[in-house]
Amino acid sequence: MRMDWPELKAKVASCVDCPLHAKRNKTVFGVGDENANWLFVGEGPGADEDAQGEPFVGQAGKLLDNMLAAIKLKRGHNVYIANVVKCRAPGNRNPQPEEALACEPYLHRQIELIKPRLIIALGKVAAVNLLAREASIASLRGRLHQYRGIPLVVTYHPAYLLRSLGDKAKAWADLCFAVDTMKDLQTGAPAPTLYENV
């Protein structure tokens, strides 16, 4: 896929490549700085996102904005936010592997165009799809992975954190790890831990 931004946006807006198109209200392409160093990837639109056409605008989105603020980032400023699937799955079920696979070329092209320095996978669906292997969040967090050569760290999904306040400290540790990793990437210091090849 070699589309530029306008072509890519138009293609997603009219996409019917998987069954999720049938019940969506709006496609949720992604939002932010198209040259961002930071890319946050979630699972897929919920009800609020489906209504508004923008990622992470509901309760989980508020928490994501707070997480960004905690590491001195702001939506749209050096940050891009996208999802594995661009259309809402009915009842907020997880996207099926076939649906994620059908939608993957769009996220992949977004990543090619943005060229982020670091990807943060929010939750298991994002992590498993980006890393193309099954694994638990517990086993993936705290280490540096990569998506097609781009460093990637894994943390909990904000919607999960809203239900499991006890894991907020771990998410904070993950964000600190991400900040340290970004610093290392910018100063050319050796990566703090081994890259996991996918």
The residues that touch ligand URA, with contacts defined as CB under 6 A, are 42-46, 49, 55-56, 60-61, 83, 159
Q: Which stretch binds ligand SF4 (CB under 6 A): 1-9, 20-28, 66-74, 111-119?
A: 20-28
| 152 strand-pairing partners | 119, 145
Separation between Cα atoms, residue 75 and residue 42, nearest integer Å: 14
Q: State the binding partner of 12 from ligand SF4, ligand URA, none, CB within 5 to 8 A by kind.
A: ligand SF4
> Minimum CB separation from ligand URA for residue 59, in Å?
9
Cα→Cα distances 186→33, 131, 168, 190, Å: 18, 23, 27, 11
Q: Which residue is nearest to ligand URA (CB)?
A: 42
| 146 strand-pairing partners | 151
Separation between Cα atoms, residue 8 and residue 90, nearest integer Å: 24
Q: Does 102 bind ligand SF4 (CB under 6 A)?
A: yes
Q: Does 103 bind ligand SF4 (CB under 6 A)?
A: yes
Contact assessment for residue 137 and residue 124, using Cβ atoms and an 8 Å cutoff:
yes
Instruction: Name the site residues for ligand SF4 (rule: CB under 6 A).
Output: 12, 15-18, 20-21, 27, 85-87, 99, 102-103
